[in-house]
């Protein structure tokens, strides 16, 4: 059971919140008392997500935000402050992932730049705009959403480099922001059941055998970790990386299976 008061009075801005991890995180914050700005480049989907929360009696608004555009980011941050009176939590969830070319030398500059600009520089833009307001709140927190791709090889060169960079940004920003009373942490999901897997559900479910805990992740698994790091329960945690991946980066399942087959 969630604590319906843990984020009472908090203003929360989440990027890429129209669906998947972002939408689940918006709901979790709202269920725990927060006022949530659901932002996404897909404005109709963001509006639908926010309306769904309001139908549950929760407090949420939608706002179009392209994290690739500084003015759009500034407008979203200002909207959160104007609507809620403060901005206490920023969740950088928006990302962009371009499928790899068959050969590395066929990767284009534009594809590389797109993944880095949205996934990494987008988080930078949002944190830059939000930080003064987070510092003013007295309980500010930034939670960045990374990926196991940023820790080890799961493919996707540009996306993985961007997620690895997000880990570094988390640590350096945590060092800077600590003196201003703002905590900055990173959640690293493994494979999660989101809209990106629509039409490939059988392939997704087959991955459960790769995970020591026997299943792929659900958006709610990641939302729980994000809200923990944003809460006062994590008041002495900053600059950390919380891996939420069913054990896949800790246990080499393929090697273990090979060893069992040879024993």
**From CA 221, how far away is CA 208, in angstroms rounded?**
15
Catalytic residue among 10, 159, 211, 258: 159
Q: Which tokens is 140 given?
A: 């500010």
Is the Cβ–Cβ distance between 184 and 92 less than 8 Å? no
The angle subtended at Cα 213 by Cα 257 and Cα 207, nearest 5°, is: 65
**From CA 126, how far away is CA 37, in angstroms rounded?**
13
In residues, how long is the chain? 263
Query: Is 258 one of the annotated active-site residues of the chain?
Result: no
Active site residues: 159
């Amino acid at each position: 059971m969630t604590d319906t008061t843990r984020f009472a009075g908090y203003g929360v801005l989440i990027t890429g919140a129209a669906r998947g991890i972002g939408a689940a995180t918006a709901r979790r914050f709202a269920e725990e008392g927060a006022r949530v700005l659901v932002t996404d480049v897909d404005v109709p989907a963001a509006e639908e997500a926010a309306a769904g929360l309001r139908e549950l009696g929760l407090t949420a608004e939608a706002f179009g935000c392209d994290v690739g555009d500084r003015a759009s980011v500034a407008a979203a941050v200002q909207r959160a402050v104007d609507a809620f009176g403060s901005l206490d939590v920023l969740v950088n969830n928006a990302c962009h992932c371009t499928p790899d070319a068959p050969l590395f030398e066929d990767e284009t500059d534009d594809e590389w730049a797109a993944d880095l600009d949205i996934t990494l520089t987008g988080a930078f833009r949002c944190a830059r705009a939000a930080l003064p307001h987070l510092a003013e709140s007295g309980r500010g927190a930034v939670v960045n959403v990374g990926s196991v791709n940023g820790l080890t090889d799961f493919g996707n060169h540009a996306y993985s480099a961007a997620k690895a960079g997000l880990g570094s940004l988390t640590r350096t920003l945590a060092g800077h922001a600590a003196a201003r009373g703002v905590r900055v942490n990173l959640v690293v999901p493994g494979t999660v059941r989101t809209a990106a897997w629509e039409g490939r559900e059988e392939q997704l479910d087959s991955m459960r055998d790769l995970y020591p805990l026997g299943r792929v992740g659900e958006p709610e698994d990641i939302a729980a970790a994000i809200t923990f790091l944003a809460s006062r329960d994590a008041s002495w945690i900053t600059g950390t990386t919380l891996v939420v991946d069913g054990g896949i980066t800790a246990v080499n399942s393929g090697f273990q299976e090979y060893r069992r087959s040879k024993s």
